Each structure stands twice: as structure tokens, then as C-alpha cells.
């Protein structure tokens, strides 16, 4: 069943895949799957995620992966989503939510991708954010992507659920 949904990958999804589940030296098929999903105009990320990947050492495999020519339009520019980012900011600092100052600062760091991913998905419509984070709606020490995404009616999904929907047992994109 074909879907018009598009997906935005969080940096933690890529970093976790590289470090734990799909290390490029033994599971290049996963990385080919990401690129095939992008070639099918279904899988993307944003410029803030690329910046986080480029903050790694130049010897880190994701540093060079993020600069591959086949990914030239993979990292979408997020600045147009600034009004939605402001909406998230207002929610995060609202005293009724009781988030710690540390949680607010981390989530609203303009260089951090988390709030920008949600803002972009809300702005551009039709995007689901792919994250390793799980909802923790009563947390005051951390603002989790799934909880913040609900504020702007943005869907989130785990990488494994995305793979279940869009990968065959050989990592062929479907």
C-alpha cells in the first residue's frame, strides 16, 4: 500500500544506527536503505541534524556520510519553520508545564535539532519525525520529542516501526 507520508530522521536515529544496530562496516545495507528511501522522496532530515553530524570528528563515518553527493538535498533547510519553533518555545517555557530550566535550555538550544525537526514537520506538513525517544509526558527534567510533537500535531515513529513498514528482509526500500 503506497503512502504519501514522508519521514524526518532525528540525529539520534542515525548516530544510534551507526554505533549500535547498523554499523556501516557490517551493515551497509541499512545505509543504502536510507539513501533509497531518500531517492524515493520519502526519507529526509534537516540542516540542524547535518550540523550535529558534522560536529563529530572528521574521522567519524557519519561526518563523511552527511556530505555524500547523493544526500545533497537530504538535509532540508529548517529556517522557514521558525514560527512553529516559536510556538514550541512558548509551550516549553510555559510555567504550567513545569519543565526545568535545564530541560528548556537543552530543548530550545537553537543549534539543537529536536525542536527544529518538530517545527519543520508542522510547517511543511506530511512529515513524521523518526526518533529513538519515547514519550515521558510527566518528565520535568527532559522534553521528549514525542511529547513536544503532540503540541503541534506532529506524528512520531520509531526507526524500527519505519523499517517494519518500509524495508524488506534485505533492507530493500519498499
Write out the DSSP string of 71-135.
GTTTEE--GGGHHHHHHHHHHHH-GGG---HHHHHHHT-TT-HHHHHHHHHHHH-SEEEE-S---
| Rounded-to-integer distance, Cα 130 and Cα 165, Å | 13
| Residues 83-135: tens digit of each pLDDT | 999 999 999 999 888 999 999 999 999 899 999 999 999 999 999 999 999 99
Average pLDDT over residues 11-27: 92
Tell me, what CATH number does 24's domain have? 3.40.50.1010
What percent of the chain lies above the pLDDT cut of 70?
A: 98
| Rounded-to-integer distance, Cα 151 and Cα 88, Å | 7
The pLDDT assigned to 72 comes to 87
| Residue (of 73, 95, 88, 162) closest to 121 by Cα position | 88
1 part of a folded domain: no
Number of domains making up the chain: 1
| Rounded-to-integer distance, Cα 111 and Cα 144, Å | 17
Instruction: Print the domain residue range for 127.
Output: 6-166
| pTM score of the predicted model | 0.93
Amino acid at each position: 500500500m503506497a503512502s504519501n507520508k514522508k519521514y524526518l530522521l532525528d540525529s539520534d536515529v542515525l548516530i544510534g544506527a551507526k554505533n549500535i544496530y547498523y554499523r556501516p562496516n557490517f551493515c551497509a545495507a541499512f545505509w543504502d536503505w536510507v539513501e533509497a528511501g531518500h531517492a524515493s522522496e520519502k526519507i529526509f532530515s534537516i540542516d540542524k541534524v547535518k550540523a550535529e553530524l558534522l560536529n563529530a570528528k572528521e574521522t567519524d563515518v557519519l561526518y563523511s556520510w552527511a556530505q555524500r553527493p547523493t544526500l545533497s538535498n537530504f538535509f532540508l533547510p529548517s529556517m522557514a519553520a521558525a514560527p512553529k519553533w516559536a510556538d514550541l518555545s512558548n509551550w516549553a517555557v510555559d510555567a504550567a508545564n513545569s519543565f526545568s530550566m535545564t530541560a528548556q535550555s537543552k530543548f530550545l538550544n537553537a543549534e539543537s535539532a529536536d525542536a527544529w525537526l518538530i517545527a519543520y514537520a508542522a510547517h511543511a506538513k506530511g512529515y513524521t519525525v523518526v526518533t529513538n525517544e519515547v514519550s515521558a509526558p510527566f518528565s520535568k527534567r527532559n522534553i521528549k520529542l514525542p511529547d513536544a510533537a503532540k503540541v503541534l500535531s506532529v506524528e512520531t515513529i520509531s526507526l524500527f516501526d519505519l523499517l517494519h513498514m518500509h524495508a524488506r528482509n534485505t533492507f530493500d526500500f519498499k
